[in-house]
Amino acid sequence: MEVLFVLAFISIFIALQSWIYRVYALKNLSARIGFSKNIAQCGETVLIEEMIRNEKALPLPMLVLKFEAPRPLIFEDMTNTSLSDYHYREDLLSLGAWKAHTRQIPVKCKKRGYYSFKRFSLTTSDLMLLVKIVYALECDATLTVFPKQIKSIDFEIMLMSFIDERTVKKYLIEDPFAFNGTREYLPTDRMSAVNWGATSRCDELMVNTYCSSVHSEISILVNVEPYTNDRREDCIEKAISIAYSTALVLTQRHFEVAVYCNSRDVLTESDIRINRGSGPKHAEKIGYHLARIDLSRGCGDFDNLLEDVTRSRRDLSAIIISANTVNSLQRQLIRRHQNGFDFIWIVPLNIYDPEPVILDALKPLTKFWRHRFDG
């Protein structure tokens, strides 16, 4: 009889606790996963932050937190992590009543991109581990990894030699707020420039003069069209990094920079068009948009992009970055150069790649850039 009583008690207990956990295990249970920062540089280490709160009197003896992280985010510790198309992470823990769990997992940003967590879930159970309860969660955390910055004195020398010798158009613009005195009137002066007070004192027409300011603008045009039959992307990634690094160099020297690319934005699916601007905020904007280029979505026609850009600005100075060197593109560049389009063409190459054949008319305008880096 006592054995039957014990068995009945155990059965009732198992059934009761199983029912309690099915009903209440997910009550007042919250979880969040995110990144320690929203923007990172390529090669930088950031933290994935886990936080789980159990705000009730019911303990959770077994919790499994699962998430899928993008493959270019490299886990420094692969414990509880498997690698396939994504990093699959499972963290096992127990959480008492009114307790919280936090964990920080360092990951290295290997490649530029716009990253989020594809799946995020919690799995728990009853005291006897007989009932499996799965809680699928939403996660809006994102991480934008900027293209890799090229830190090379040779790279800066290449850019600055182009800027100093041939490309940058310097327009002397009178600054109306920088008064620089008066001078005698010339037949080419506007009557609106006459200083009537000075004229009355000098008994001859006098005009205002102003200090001049230098305005310099450069456009960066990036071509992401495939350059090999097997559609390799390594030199296209180098082109994107060159574009970002060029923008940093120019904005730090107070040039106004515009960026155009025939790629597709991972969020908007439109091509990249960043109007001219300068300063650190503008450089960050450029890095943000270049990070969001999704090469898997294809690209637009680069010649159409060239036509749009050069149609609006006849006096444009540009840096063209393209790993694609097909003859049709070269002939288009020659034609536009003959029509007054002033540019330099940077061709990114891998360390041991042979130099592609460049038409004679383009050779003085072409620079080959080899630089060893990942991402």
Average pLDDT on 200-216 reads: 67
Provide the pLDDT for residue 167.
45
E strand or H helix at 159, and its extent?
helix 153-162
Q: How far apart are CA 202 and CA 13, in angstroms?
A: 110
**At the topology level of CATH, where does 153-170+216-370 sit?**
Rossmann fold (3.40.50)
> Do 330 and 359 touch, CB atoms closer than 8 A?
yes
Q: How far apart are CA 358 and CA 365, in angstroms?
A: 10
Provide the pLDDT for residue 180.
58
Provide the pLDDT for residue 76.
86
Return the top range by mean pLDDT from 13-27, 119-133, 292-306: 292-306
Average pLDDT on 71-98 reads: 85
In this chain, the answer to whether the domains covering 29-146 and 153-170+216-370 adopt an identical fold is no
Of 166 and 65, the one with more pLDDT: 65
Q: How far apart are CA 34 and CA 50, in angstroms?
A: 7
DSSP state at residue 165: I
Q: How far apart are CA 215 and CA 200, in angstroms?
A: 35
Average pLDDT on 211-222 reads: 72
pLDDT tens across 52-78, in order?
999 999 999 889 899 888 999 999 887
Residues contacting residue 92 through CB under 8 Å, at least 6 positions apart:
62, 63, 64, 80
Provide the pLDDT for residue 166.
46
pLDDT over threshold 80, residue 172: no
Tell me the pLDDT of the chain averaged across its residues.
85
pLDDT tens across 311-338, in order?
876 667 899 999 999 999 999 999 998 8
Provide the pLDDT for residue 352.
86
Give pTM, 2 decimals.
0.80
Residue spans per domain, the chain: 29-146, 153-170+216-370, 171-214
Q: How far apart are CA 36 and CA 143, in angstroms?
A: 9
pLDDT over threshold 70, residue 353: yes
Average pLDDT on 6-14 reads: 76
DSSP state at residue 21: H
CA dihedral defined by 340, 341, 343, 345, rounded to 10 degrees? -120
Q: How far apart are CA 101 and CA 322, in angstroms?
A: 49
Cβ neighbours of 332 (radius 10 Å):
15
**Domain 29-146, classified CATH 2.60.40.680, yes or no:** yes
CA dihedral defined by 14, 15, 19, 25, rounded to 10 degrees? 10
Provide the pLDDT for residue 179.
54
